[in-house]
């Protein structure tokens, strides 16, 4: 199974005419690049961020004022996260307009949807981490919204066992943001790529 | 021969890239954290009880309140003007911010209290650190 998986990650051959940029605009590839950039810049931020309500904002002030390149790395992480969402949505739009969601590739559409949902969730959990006023009230708004959804209260109890911005909920958002969600996205991405190769028989390209 | 030259060039480029990236990473991971330097040395006896000793040049007021001695930066937290010291409070001449004896904001536009500087006791002397 693993061998089969690895063999499908990279294509055996590609037709040159199918690489024309105007067909896919490489939105998916760009989105994955943004994801990798987020992993790298996020890893650097981990060296300075302290996930406790008292220390979080302070550690970011320290990062921005005293660390060479700290502000750059943080801005990069923030801007790339915006870029990732924009690119995923453009990719989704392209998939809809070219009909790439149709049989027999419907499974990849579903996987892609879960990647989109994970990315949105990742952006939301990352929003609280700076613990400034915008983060705090933004997350409050988000939790109120989640509360109105079906099973919203259950999800709310899981995400915020104490209160928004209190130690346990901040730690929970942190864990989700730096470990659970990136891992989920990475696994789903590779499944996504595997399915592309796997379904190549029916593609007009590849 | 040509092939060997190309691969050597590529190798050197890779080495240069790794070194440059490593240096940047090192700078990021090992920031120079400014050590606190002594700014002023004041004899405890010189500070009037319940009053303040003002050092306009270094923009510091050393305040004594009961047994508590603390140093306040005289830079207004609004835009950095030097505040005037009156008998009761600190008044900023630029935009009229007023701070209390402990540095707390009594009137805007400043929204943060005056910065407290660290002090160290050395026997009969107080050393203000910046």
ipTM value for the complex? 0.75
Q: What is the mean pLDDT of residues A23-38?
A: 91
* pLDDT tens-digit series, residues B33-82: 777 777 777 777 777 777 777 887 878 888 877 777 888 888 888 888 88
**Residues in chain B within 8 Å Cβ distance of A68:** 27-28, 31
Q: What is the pLDDT of residue B52?
A: 78
Q: Please indicate if any CB of chain B lies within 8 Å of the CB of A160.
A: no
Q: What is the pLDDT of residue A91?
A: 94
Q: Please indicate if any CB of chain A lies within 8 Å of the CB of B1.
A: no
Q: What is the mean pLDDT of residues A96-111?
A: 89
Cβ–Cβ of B27/A68 closer than 8 Å?
Answer: yes
* pLDDT tens-digit series, residues A143-166: 999 999 999 999 999 999 988 989
- The most confident of the ranges A168-177, B68-77, B109-118 is A168-177
**Together in a domain, B47 and B61:** yes
Q: What is the pLDDT of residue A168?
A: 94
**Together in a domain, B22 and B5:** yes
Q: Is the pLDDT of residue A83 over 90?
A: yes
Distance between CA atoms of residues B112 and B104, nearest Å: 8
**Together in a domain, B50 and B27:** no
Distance between CA atoms of residues B130 and B127, nearest Å: 10
**Together in a domain, B121 and B76:** yes
Q: Is the pLDDT of residue A10 over 70?
A: yes
What pLDDT band is residue A204 in, cutting at 50, 70 and 90?
A: low
Buried b / exposed e over A127-136, threshold 16 CB at 10 Å, is bbbbbeeebb
**Together in a domain, B99 and B117:** yes
- Which chain B residue shows the shortest CA-CA distance from A70? B28
Q: What is the mean pLDDT of residues B13-28?
A: 95
Task: Delineate the domains of chain A, giving CATH numbers in brackets.
Answer: 21-201 (1.20.810.10)
Q: What is the pLDDT of residue B2?
A: 54
**Together in a domain, B29 and B43:** no
Cβ–Cβ of B31/A73 closer than 8 Å?
Answer: no
* pLDDT tens-digit series, residues A111-142: 999 999 999 999 999 999 999 999 999 999 99
Query: How remote is the C-alpha of B25 from its chain's centroid?
Result: 26
Q: What is the pLDDT of residue A201?
A: 54
Interface of A with B in 68-107 (CB under 8 A): 68-70, 73
Q: Please indicate if any CB of chain A lies within 8 Å of the CB of B4.
A: no
Q: Please indicate if any CB of chain B lies within 8 Å of the CB of A47.
A: yes
* Mean pLDDT rounded to a whole number for chain A: 90
The boundaries of the domain holding residue B75 are: 38-129
**Together in a domain, B81 and B108:** yes
* Mean pLDDT rounded to a whole number for chain B: 82
**Together in a domain, B21 and B62:** no
**Residues in chain B within 8 Å Cβ distance of A66:** 31-34
Percent of chain B clearing pLDDT 70 (strictly above): 95
Q: What is the pLDDT of residue B3?
A: 58
CATH label of the domain that carries residue B107: 2.102.10.10
Q: Is the pLDDT of residue A202 over 80?
A: no
Cβ–Cβ of A66/B33 closer than 8 Å?
Answer: yes
Residue A69 burial (CB < 10 Å; 0-12/13-18/19+)?
middle
- Which chain A residue shows the shortest CA-CA distance from B33? A66
Q: What is the pLDDT of residue A156?
A: 92
Q: Is the pLDDT of residue B114 over 80?
A: yes
What pLDDT band is residue B111 in, cutting at 50, 70 and 90?
A: confident
Nearest to A47 among B24, B27, B29 (CB): B29
**Together in a domain, B114 and B57:** yes
Using an 8 Å Cβ cutoff, are B87 and B96 in contact? no
**Together in a domain, B68 and B106:** yes
**Together in a domain, B67 and B85:** yes
**Domains in chain B, number:** 2
User: In this structure, how many other beta carbons lie within 10 angstroms of the beta carbon of residue A188?
Assistant: 19
Residue with structure tokens 């500070």? B47
Percent of chain B clearing pLDDT 90 (strictly above): 16
**Together in a domain, B64 and B96:** yes
Cβ–Cβ of B28/A66 closer than 8 Å?
Answer: no
Q: Please indicate if any CB of chain B lies within 8 Å of the CB of A65.
A: no
- Which of A69, A74, A75 to mutate: most B Cβ within 10 Å? A69
Q: What is the pLDDT of residue B4?
A: 60
**Residues in chain A within 8 Å Cβ distance of B29:** 47
- Pull the structure tokens for residue B122: 């050395």
Q: Please indicate if any CB of chain A lies within 8 Å of the CB of B35.
A: no
For residue B125, list its beta bridge partners: B43, B122
Q: What is the pTM of this model?
A: 0.72
**Residues in chain A within 8 Å Cβ distance of B24:** 69
Q: Please indicate if any CB of chain A lies within 8 Å of the CB of B30.
A: no
Q: What is the pLDDT of residue A122?
A: 96
For residue A162, list its beta bridge partners: none
């Amino acid at each position: 199974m693993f061998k089969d998986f690895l063999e499908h990650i990279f294509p055996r051959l590609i037709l040159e005419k199918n690489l024309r940029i105007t067909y896919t605009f490489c939105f998916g590839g760009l989105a994955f690049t943004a994801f990798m950039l987020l992993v790298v810049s996020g890893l650097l931020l981990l060296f300075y961020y302290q996930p406790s309500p008292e220390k979080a904002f302070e550690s970011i002030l320290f990062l921005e004022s005293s660390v060479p390149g700290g502000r750059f790395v943080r801005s990069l992480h923030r801007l790339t996260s915006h870029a990732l969402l924009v690119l995923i949505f453009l990719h989704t739009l392209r998939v809809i307009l070219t009909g790439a969601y149709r049989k027999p590739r419907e499974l990849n559409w579903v996987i892609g949807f879960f990647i989109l949902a994970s990315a949105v969730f990742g952006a939301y959990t990352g929003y609280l981490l700076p613990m400034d006023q915008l983060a705090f009230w933004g997350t409050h708004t988000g939790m109120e919204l989640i509360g109105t959804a079906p099973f919203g209260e259950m999800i709310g109890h899981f995400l915020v066992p104490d209160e928004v911005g209190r130690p346990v909920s901040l730690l929970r958002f942190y864990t989700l943001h730096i470990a659970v969600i990136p891992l989920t996205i990475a696994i789903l991405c590779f499944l996504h790529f595997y399915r592309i190769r796997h379904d190549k028989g029916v593609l007009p390209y590849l | 021969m040509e092939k060997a030259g190309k691969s050597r060039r590529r190798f050197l480029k890779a080495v240069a890239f790794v070194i440059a990236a490593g240096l940047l990473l090192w700078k990021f991971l090992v920031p120079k954290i400014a050590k606190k330097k002594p700014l002023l040395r004041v004899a405890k006896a010189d500070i009037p009880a319940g009053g303040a000793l003002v050092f306009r040049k270094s923009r510091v007021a050393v305040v004594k309140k009961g047994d508590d001695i603390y140093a306040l930066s005289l830079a207004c937290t609004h835009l950095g003007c030097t505040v005037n010291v009156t008998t009761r409070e600190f008044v900023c001449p630029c935009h009229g911010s007023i701070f209390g004896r402990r540095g707390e904001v009594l009137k805007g536009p400043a929204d943060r209290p005056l910065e407290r500087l660290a002090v160290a006791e050395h026997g009969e002397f107080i050393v203000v650190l910046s």
